[in-house]
Amino acid sequence: MENHSLPKLHIAPLFCLLFLTSLVNCQLNYTFYDDSCPSLTKIVRYGVWTAIANDTRMAASLLRLHFHDCFVNGCDGSVLLDGGEKNALPNLNSARGFEIIDSIKSNLEKACPGVVSCTDVLTLAAREAVYLVRTSTLYLPSIFETGGPYWSLAFGRRDGLTTSETAANEQLPGPFEPLDNITRKFAAKGLDTKDVVVLSGGHTLGFAQCGVVKPRLFDFAGSGRPDPSLDASFLQSLQSTCPNRNESNSNLAPLDASSSKFDNVYYKLLVNSSGLLRSDQALMSDNVTGSMVVGYSKFPFLFYKDFGASMVKMAGIGVITGSNGDVRKNCRVVN
């Protein structure tokens, strides 16, 4: 068995970014668990590191899970509850990582029982997932010495008591929606056009099921033909990965050419008309969002910085604090 050294948890990342934003509730703070659960970051980082070591796709899954939680009635851990949002179309048979959060929460309950909310666990796990896949070689010690993208998080979120399948179906942006619809859904959460472009960059990680992609490849807008905006060689490659047969619907297509590495290749692909999802490529159809895409395709460190800022904004959407909500013992059920 290989003996892979664990990340050095005490190392401060090179690109540590402190973002103080008005969207973070004033009851959240950066030292919330310093006394009550000082081992929080260490436990979460170890859990995420282990998960990614076993399955590199898990980084994208945890990031997506956090996004889907915050976009449905705020960041309240409702996506983690059994039923409700888990059964919504954007999550059913595609949302992953629940067992990772369960495992981390179980370890936290041993270290500091009844202290850390499931919502804060998920929020921190998403940050750690991005940080730990900054480069493509997970086990090189140098990646933990280099670090980034990394953003500081305030804590103190409480867990919600309800979950809604209907709300998830209505509020989550979809891969087939036009850019205007997606922008409106972001605006409803206090996020602007820049956040749309930046947070879409999370698609630098992970895969999409072919069932989501195939309409662009074979019957775009009911035309019986492929999406004419797709690069020809990219189209041919996708049609090989996702053949026009029902049994290919569960096949996986990478969201970018380096899908296990957090980088700016996603934006480079959009510039070259090679975005996997229709909603991604739509960013190039607008002058404002298109110019941002071009900028991030050229300046990766600008993307990393702005991604951290937008993630902080998102993590402050509709948070529950103080005596409201709960601190679940089991993330899947209310206490």
Catalytic residue IDs = 68
Query: Do the beta carbons of residue 9 and residue 44 sit within 8 Å?
Result: no
173 is in an annotated binding site: yes
Close Cβ partners of 270 (under 8 Å, ≥ 6 residues apart): 280, 281, 283, 284, 293, 297
Task: Give, as one character, the DSSP assignment of residue 159.
Answer: B
165 is in an annotated binding site: no
- Separation CA 292–CA 303 (nearest Å): 10
H or E stretch covering 313: helix 300-314
Query: Do the beta carbons of residue 86 and residue 95 sit within 8 Å?
Result: yes
290 is in an annotated binding site: no
- Separation CA 74–CA 159 (nearest Å): 10
204 is in an annotated binding site: yes
Tokens standing for 334?
């209310």
69 is in an annotated binding site: yes
| Alpha-carbon torsion angle 124, 126, 128, 134, nearest 10 | -160
219 is in an annotated binding site: no
178 is in an annotated binding site: no
82 is in an annotated binding site: no
99 is in an annotated binding site: no
38 is in an annotated binding site: no
Residues marked as binding for substrate?
A: 173
Annotated binding site for Ca(2+): 69, 72, 74, 76, 78, 85, 204, 256, 263
Binding-site annotation, residues: 69, 72, 74, 76, 78, 85, 173, 203-204, 256, 263
Q: Which residues line the annotated binding site for heme b?
A: 203
